Structure formats: structure tokens, C-alpha cells
Amino acid sequence: MLQVKNISFRYNNDVVLKNISFSVKTGEHVSIIGESGSGKTTLLKLIYGEYDLIKGQIFWNNHEILGPKFNLVVGQSHIKYVAQEFDLMPYKTVEENVGEFLSNFYLNEKKARVTELLEAVELTTFSKAKVHSLSGGQKQRVALARAIAKQPEIILLDEPFSHIDNFKKQSLRRNLFSFLKSKNITCIVATHDKDDVLPYSDTVVVLNQGEIIANNSPEELFSNPDNPLIASFFGEYNIINGDIFYAHQLKIVDDSKLKATVKNSYFNGRNYLIEVIFNNESVFIEHSKSIKLNQIICFEISK
């Protein structure tokens, strides 16, 4: 089990994290979410042992994770951290990069392992390509495969699909996270993308201004967001009479006491997002078709 106990950290005089505590069971998938600057990347680096804490402790299986003051080599052997910058060997092939840290004493096993990893990140057809010729998204996938090559106990992923285009992102997510689950590798992901979170996370930790404001299952946080920041992560939302409602919880009807004027209609694939003016504020409603501007509509709320 990973235990983060009441940790705090600052850069110079700027406090980045304050009194952070949570735990992660072996094999669990935990997402860390929050706005830019909320401390997500810093938290991953502290778990990896890249920085020294100013307060608190971090343990993995009762072994304390310490920073560079206590270690000549930064990082932990049983933990892999994949940052947004990739430390790859540009003039070696994809398969050479992925197998860099695997033993050459058992070449057949090494080859089988590299093949398995390339399948997991959907790079089989690029195995012989030199890394310098790859796109940013392909390099990110090489970095992911190399990080899990020796099957770490924990993998820390910082925006792991930020360079991946939408044509590959969905299937890559499924393959990678399913692979990690099958190997019982504890996974902690810092992300701004709800599609990284909802289908895969066991737990979501929400950071705001360096503090944890929520720590719960994705189902619970989505269904009962008690903070506008949490609601905004999952989709368009409205605050009506002090309560938070998603756009899909508002329904346009033939008659209602709630009346509004249409300001815009936005096509989003499955339906339209209708922006209306209600009580002099914008309110967003999901609807099956576009509606003409300035039309008066009625709506109701369901939760």
C-alpha cells in the first residue's frame, strides 16, 4: 500500500501542497485531477522521490520514500515515473528503447516481453523505426512502454496521453490501463481529461490550490459534485438557486414555470448544447436538435 501522510511542499516561499493525505492499495488505479498549478505534477514527483518533503512522510509497503537528500540516485527502483518530456534514445529503434533495461541473458524472453509491450501501446508496426523519426504521440507511447518494461510496482503517469491524437487515444487508453490492471501494477495518473478518469479509476483525488478538496470514487464525484470545480471537470454545468446541475439534467419541455431565451446552439456530436439566458445568466441545456436564436423555451430540472 502507498501511504501519503500529511505532506507539504513549497518551491522557495511558494507553498504548492498543504497537508496532503491519502492511501492507494496495491493494483489500484488513482487519478489526480485539478486545474493547472494545483500541484498534480509536484505530487507525483514527491511520490517518486525527486523532491524532499518539508513536512510529512510517504511510504510504500512500510518502506519510506525519501528525496535526494537521502539518496545519491533520484527516484525509487520499484517506481517508474513518466513525465511529459521523454528521455529516449533518438537514434535507436523503438524496440531497442523499450528493451533498454531488460536483461540480454535471456534474449527470447526479452523479445517476447518487448513484443507484448509494443502491442500494449499499439506500436508493433514501428518496432524497427528510429525514435527520432516518430511523432510526439508515438514517442510518448515508446516512453510508456519502456516505463512498464520491468514491471514496476507503481507507475506514475503525468498527462500520459497529452501528445496522442484522438484517432489513437481511446484504444490506447483501454489497452494500457487494462494491461496495468492485469499485471497488478499500481497506477497513479495526473490528468486534465475526464476520459482518463471515468472508465478506469478506482479513486479520484481532487486538488485545488494545493489542498485535497475531494477523494472518492469517480461515480460518486460525478453523481454528486459538491463543488463547481468538480462539476466543471466532468462537463458543462449550471448553478441554479445555489445547486449544481449538469447540462444533461436540464430538459426542454412544452410548458414550465422556468422560461429562458436561446442565445446559441452548439453541435457536439451526440446532441446540441443549447445556451439560454435565464435570470440574466447563461444556462446550458443538452437537447436533441438546434433551436433558433432568441426563441423563448421552457425547461425543467431532473437530478
Q: Which of the two residues, 262 and 107, has the higher pLDDT score?
A: 262
Q: What are the chain's domains? A: 2-223 (3.40.50.300), 236-301 (2.40.50.140)
The confidence score (pLDDT) of residue 78 equals 87
Alpha-helical regions (H) of the chain:
40-48, 94-98, 107-120, 136-147, 166-182, 194-197, 218-223, 228-234
Name the least confident of 110-114, 155-159, 200-204, 244-248: 110-114
Average pLDDT value for the chain: 91
- Distance, in Å, from the CA atom of 31 to the CA atom of 197, rounded to the nearest integer, reads 6
pLDDT band at 41 (very low <50, low <70, confident <90, very high): very high
For residue 226, what is its C-alpha cell?
459538491
89 pLDDT tier (thresholds 50, 70, 90) = confident
Residue 150's pLDDT is 84
Q: If pLDDT is split at 50, 70 and 90, which confidence band does 48 have?
A: very high
List of E strands, 193-280 = 203-208, 211-216, 237-240, 243-246, 250-253, 258-267, 272-278
pTM of the model as a whole: 0.88
Query: What is the distance of C-alpha 154 from the center of its chain?
Result: 15
pLDDT of residue 13: 83
Phi then psi for residue 143, to 5 deg, are: -60, -40
Residue 188 contacts residue 47 (beta carbons within 8 Å): yes
pLDDT in tens, 215-266: 999 999 999 998 999 999 999 999 998 999 999 999 999 999 999 999 999 9
Tens of pLDDT along 182-204?
999 999 999 999 999 999 999 99
The answer to whether residues 262 and 291 touch, using CB atoms and an 8 Å cutoff, is yes
- Of 26-40, 151-165, 183-197, 278-292, the range with the lowest mean pLDDT is 151-165
**DSSP string computed for 47-64:** HHTSS--SEEEEEETTEE
Report the C-alpha gap between 62 and 253 in whole angstroms: 58
If we measure between CA atoms, which residue out of 259, 234, 261 comes closest to residue 248? 234
Q: Are 144 and 160 in contact (CB under 8 A)?
A: yes
Percent of the chain whose predicted confidence (pLDDT) is above 90: 66
Nearest to 92 by CA among 144, 146, 147, 168: 146
- pLDDT over 80 at 86, yes or no: no
Q: How many CB atoms lie within 10 A of CB 64?
A: 12
Nearest C-alpha neighbor of 33 from the set 181, 140, 190, 182:
190
Integer CA distances (angstroms), 243 to 30, 176, 260, in order: 28, 37, 18
